[in-house]
């Protein structure tokens, strides 16, 4: 399971490296932005990951820093999971990450991350800050 997840992440990052989201309409349009005229919390996320894949860390941070941090954390976590699962399989044991995920309060963590991400998006709408804009 973790190897399949890592493969999917690599394909997604590879696709973002090939198809540039900086070109208007290359990935379609944001329905939230179209309906409300305001950027959603994830606006700039594709551009951020594209900049990261291309090695431009400063542009990635300026496009959408929370997305950048989330992508780095997910990929690092998946790589760690692949290593742990491989070691467990070598000795014939169960995958300890799956066992911990079954016991963990994942819903609370997911809710906290989404809440913070949405708070970032709301702050982008109303805060007269210019440091976050590309």
Q: Are 43 and 68 in contact (CB under 8 A)?
A: no
In a domain, 7, yes or no: yes
In a domain, 134, yes or no: no
In a domain, 33, yes or no: no
pTM score? 0.65
Distance CA 9, CA 72 (A): 11
In a domain, 12, yes or no: yes
From first to last of its 134 residues, the chain has per-residue pLDDT tens of 677 878 888 888 888 888 888 888 787 777 777 887 877 777 888 889 899 989 999 999 888 888 888 888 888 888 888 888 888 888 888 777 666 666 667 667 777 777 777 777 666 655 554 554 55
The residue written with tokens 């954390």 in the block is: 73
Number of independent structural domains in the chain:
1
CB contact burial 80-103 (16+ within 10 A = b; e otherwise): ebbebbeebeeeeeebebeeeeee
Task: List the domain range (segments joined by +) for residue 89.
Answer: 2-23+38-126
């Amino acid at each position: 399971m973790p190897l399949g997840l890592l493969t999917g992440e690599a394909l997604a990052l590879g696709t973002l490296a090939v198809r540039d989201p900086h070109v208007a309409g290359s990935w379609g349009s944001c329905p939230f932005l179209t309906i409300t005229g305001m950027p959603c919390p994830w606006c700039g996320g594709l551009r951020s990951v594209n900049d990261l894949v291309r090695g431009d860390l400063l542009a990635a941070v300026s496009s959408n820093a929370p997305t950048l941090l989330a992508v780095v954390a997910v990929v690092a976590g998946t790589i760690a999971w692949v290593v742990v699962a491989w070691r467990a399989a070598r000795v014939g044991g169960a995958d300890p990450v799956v066992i911990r995920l079954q016991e963990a309060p994942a819903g609370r963590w997911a809710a906290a991350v989404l809440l913070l991400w949405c708070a970032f998006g709301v702050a982008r709408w109303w805060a007269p800050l210019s440091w976050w804009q590309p």
